[in-house]
A and B are shown apart, each in its own frame.
Chain A
């Protein structure tokens, strides 16, 4: 007898909770017609960004590839003294079929070149289409860090910045001077 009352009460309470939901805002969205808001720091597709001057930010330092826990980043450093006299990746490849979107590459990147963006729609029918080369990865903007330009703060010379022209740099030393 007692049990029957408990069953009936639970039933009514449960129905009441369901009924209450009728008047709340639904959580489900009609993807893909409706798209959820993803914050800028959401870790989705990986891009390579450019510096404020419009040049590739990646300096091919290999830190992203060594930080990658699934080893899905491969690149080769190259240098073209005629074009811009700075190091860049000859190829830069991410195998997204292996990527786990952990963001370690972004964390390791000393030049803010590699960034994870809130785009996650990467489904493909063939795995080979998930292999992104540099031309697929490189975007034309600066991404999340609009101002940073590695070569303005690094001590090396490039085609448009001589020694001593970087931030917090003195003019090159005149070795032949004996003045104190």
Chain B
């Protein structure tokens, strides 16, 4: 028994070190957001003397964080809604209805998860330009929604497969139309799967950087990730680290809140999404 206790203590050392490696930079980023620049230079890794919100005020009003937070919320909300509107009916048809090409269509959607989309971004850039959707957060929302479609279909079909068929059959006998069955029976019964998919998509859209970098151009349209990147590039010259940290904290708070509420679902959604390969 003594030996077991000993080996458990040994194992704890790397676990504690890695916890510190994860938590320390995050805590310190949050603390840095409340420090003045002079404090950051004098004592970059220590506690602030007094908590000041001036960095947040500066980021919010002088660096366009306000409009980019707004844009990020629009893109996240609209993108997640659009994904659902596209994914729910298609998932239902793929999972429950027999038609020629069903397997092929499913495979097509799923294999799109493994294809590097970088190649598609160049033509997509010109396509959006032609559609007048370039440098437009609505255009970006559509692109986001389609990009998460394969993942969403993958999770929703496997979820809908667990709903017993007898419910639909009973409703059909009572004279309910297939649209009614989809909307009043399948959708409510898939709530758990829909929530999982939506949280994953929202985190994805909120965090996304590269497509926004390519498809958005004017500062007024920047999402939060772009605005932060912009501040970060400026910081090399202005050294306004406090402002940068404040904007990082603004970006990370919604994710922390979602993680605190939906920790189990997020973990499940991500591990299942990875297992598709």
Q: Do A and B form a real pair?
A: no
**B: which residues have CB within 8 A of A?**
none
**A: which residues have CB within 8 A of B?**
none
